[in-house]
Amino acid sequence: MHRIGVFVCHCGTNIAATVDVKAVAEAVREETGVVFSADYQYMCSEAGQTLVQDTIREQRLTGVVVCSCSPRMHEATFRKAAAKAGLNSYMVEIANIREQCSWIHKDMVSGTEKAIILARAAIAKVMLNTPLTPGKTPVTKRALVIGGGIAGIQTALDIAEAGFDVDIVEKQPTIGGKMTQIDKTFPTLDCASCILTPKMVDCAQNEKIHIYSYSEVESVTGFVGNFTAKIKRKARFVDEKKCTGCGECVEKCPMKKVPNEFNLGLDNRKAIYIPFAQAVPKVATIDANYCLMKKNGKCGLCSKVCGAGAINYDQQDEIIEEKYGAIVAATGYNPIKIDKFDEFAYSQSPDVITSLELERLMNAAGPSNGTLVRPSYLSKQDDHEAHPKTIVFVQCVGSRSTECRKGSKEYCSKICCMYTAKHAMLIREKYPDTDVYVFYIDVRTPGKLFDEFYRRAVEQYGVHYIKGMVGKVSPRADGKLDVQGSDLISNEQLHVTADLVVLATAIEPDKTARSIGTMLTASMDTNDFFTEAHPKLRPVESPTAGVFLSGVCQGPKDIPETVTQASACAAKVVGLLVKDELTGNPCVAHSDELMCNGCSACEKVCPYGAITYSDKEFRQPDRTVAIRRVASVNPAVCQGCGACTVACPSGAMDLNGFSNSQIMAEVDAVCR
């Protein structure tokens, strides 16, 4: 038996001026199931709430309808009040007779009439409400950070700072990411290593942080608060615990001709290597593709010279399994491949380079020890003048592309305008006799001290900024480069004879991001950037609960922005890990296994990956047992949108709080 109480609020005169509240209370008293109705000046006031609570107790109400302001305003208030009086808080429904009635209608008759209809709809719904209890799930107090660049490092440090264990999984032999390859940072021109390496050391020394370098995440299962990840520790053939990082092995390794990825192939490294002096962990790694011992079993020099006995040629990949409460994607970016951009002659001339390659050429620890020389001189391909005298920078190579060229991107890579200004300025500072040209579409410098920085490049350092794009770069017989471009302001074609051309190459999410996104059931956009839970209000969370986003994997950003986002992300992770258990929203979907076809339609439309399938045995009417594939919803992951309920043809999926029958009862009531 339903025992519904209806409470009609005057809201002062806000409602009472256009709705005859007494008439509403009167009218609904006639409704089936309603045992009590009353009106009151301010239902949300202390006294009003007491009235509701007393009535619940006295009248043994099974459901409450409050005719008042929008549920967005006071639904929570009345639910709490009901719970205090011993009624399940989900047995309360609000009829919105203020925002959607009294405030929009001027006429008392139609206002009152509509208020009664809205009240009836709420009564019809509340009769079908079921008591709901939010589920509780425990939280594993450990975070996983995928990617050990500046984003991952900052997030890990902040989470550890709050007292939680963090694991960083980095696929390279060292953490540090792209920032380790950068020479100076804009707009302050301080050296990247000087600010990054202390943070890397902090990570290594922090007891709460565990670094899995040269490792990759193999699989992730579970859900918010309860993830299980399998991490593959790739064999580096060196015992991390024993290696002291002395570098004796690297010194003695006879295999010298391995392209050095840290310097982007501008020089070579050994088959056993430590990426750079400040690597963390500072442990050698054997590159099995080049190691003579690994390839044909003849060498073993490194093993002989290693005083610590750390070399182990038989080491195998190892899979470890760990539980996490939260997972952070910090997978970062890479410059796009520009071999296909023939017009810039990147694959034809060594003196056409990307901006990241320029960083290495200008870095004191780089292949030229910080002296800016042409790569063709560096690789001894010619003996012309070592220093480039004329340098042309080309902006937006592969970014902001409107053509459908494979590999080019529609978006702005965001960092290029600023780093090009930095490069131009540094070159003009160190080599004042060098002419520097920058071809650009627009110069975009929003950010603190950014525009000032760019203006300094133009005004103080005399960098030639030319609005227009470069059409073609042609290597000449004398080793120089003919750069043909347009100047849109003076409306003319230009030819610049350059010694070095630097391409501001578009950046794209790391190739591993897509597979990690799939593992985490975290949604991604068409460019493979991770999608935020809300583009404005929840920018560091993925729509998948418990998955967070740090750094460029969410969208192009510079170092200050990355660090800001990384810390914001950590704050969100800490906010999750600090809870002992998670209270879910009970208004989630659920599937009726007896009706489920197992067709997977619901899974396809679920943005949260909350739906899984399993084969279950069912007794048939003829007493045989049939095995059927049926869906189940993980209530900890489901957010209650209801997309699955409509995708399901059999109606097996329904949504708590907004069930098919509840909505249809409301439809029936308003159409009555």
Token pair belonging to 206: 């922090």
User: C-beta of 640: minimal distance to other proteins in Å?
Assistant: 6
User: C-beta of 601: minimal distance to other proteins in Å?
Assistant: 6
- 3-state SS assignment for residue 188: coil
- Cβ neighbours of residue 634 closer than 8 Å, sequence gap 6 or more: 223, 610, 611, 612
- Looking at beta carbons only, is 348 or 661 nearer to other proteins? 661
Amino acid at 247: G
C-alpha–C-alpha distance, residues 624 and 617, integer Å:
10
User: C-beta of 651: minimal distance to other proteins in Å?
Assistant: 5
* Backbone angles phi and psi of 122, in degrees to 5: -65, -35
C-alpha–C-alpha distance, residues 393 and 427, integer Å:
12
Token pair belonging to 7: 């409470």
- Looking at beta carbons only, is 477 or 625 nearer to other proteins? 625
User: C-beta of 114: minimal distance to other proteins in Å?
Assistant: 4
User: Which is nearest to 272 in space by CA: 237, 296, 242, 307?
Assistant: 237
User: C-beta of 534: minimal distance to other proteins in Å?
Assistant: 7
Q: Are 315 and 307 in contact (CB under 8 A)?
A: no
Token pair belonging to 24: 């509403």
- Looking at beta carbons only, is 103 or 313 nearer to other proteins? 103
User: C-beta of 118: minimal distance to other proteins in Å?
Assistant: 7
- Looking at beta carbons only, is 505 or 645 nearer to other proteins? 645
Beta-carbon count within 10 A of 293 CB: 21
C-alpha–C-alpha distance, residues 564 and 576, integer Å:
19
In 321-345, which positions are buried (b, 16+ CB within 10 angstroms) versus exposed (e)? ebebbbbbbbbbbebbebeebeebb
- Looking at beta carbons only, is 353 or 596 nearer to other proteins? 596
CA 638 to chain centre: 19
- Looking at beta carbons only, is 6 or 418 nearer to other proteins? 6
Q: Are 463 and 424 in contact (CB under 8 A)?
A: yes
Q: Are 648 and 659 in contact (CB under 8 A)?
A: no
Is the omega angle on the peptide bond into residue 187 within 30 degrees of 0, that is, cis?
yes
Q: Are 337 and 407 in contact (CB under 8 A)?
A: yes
- Looking at beta carbons only, is 502 or 611 nearer to other proteins? 611
- Looking at beta carbons only, is 405 or 534 nearer to other proteins? 534
User: C-beta of 90: minimal distance to other proteins in Å?
Assistant: 14
- Looking at beta carbons only, is 13 or 661 nearer to other proteins? 661
- Looking at beta carbons only, is 470 or 589 nearer to other proteins? 589
Tell me which H or E stretch contains 670: helix 660-671
- Looking at beta carbons only, is 297 or 535 nearer to other proteins? 535
- Looking at beta carbons only, is 476 or 534 nearer to other proteins? 534
User: C-beta of 355: minimal distance to other proteins in Å?
Assistant: 31
Q: What torsion do the CA atoms of 240, 242, 247, 252 make, to the nearest 10 degrees? A: -110
Where would I find the H helices in 188-330? 192-205, 248-252, 292-296, 301-305
User: C-beta of 671: minimal distance to other proteins in Å?
Assistant: 4
How wide is the angle at C-alpha 65 spanned by C-alphas 63 and 69, nearest 5°? 150
Which residues sit at the interface with other proteins, rule CB under 8 A?
70-72, 96, 98-101, 103-107, 110-111, 113-114, 117-118, 121, 523, 531, 533-535, 543, 587, 594-601, 604-605, 607, 613, 626-629, 639-643, 645-647, 649-652, 655, 657-658, 660-661, 663-664, 666-668, 670-672
Where would I find the H helices in 85-225? 108-126, 150-161, 192-205
User: C-beta of 565: minimal distance to other proteins in Å?
Assistant: 19
User: C-beta of 627: minimal distance to other proteins in Å?
Assistant: 7
Q: Are 51 and 23 in contact (CB under 8 A)?
A: no
User: C-beta of 518: minimal distance to other proteins in Å?
Assistant: 15
- Looking at beta carbons only, is 367 or 584 nearer to other proteins? 584
Residue found under tokens 């460029």? 552
C-alpha–C-alpha distance, residues 669 and 251, integer Å:
84
User: C-beta of 70: minimal distance to other proteins in Å?
Assistant: 5
Q: Are 240 and 561 in contact (CB under 8 A)?
A: no
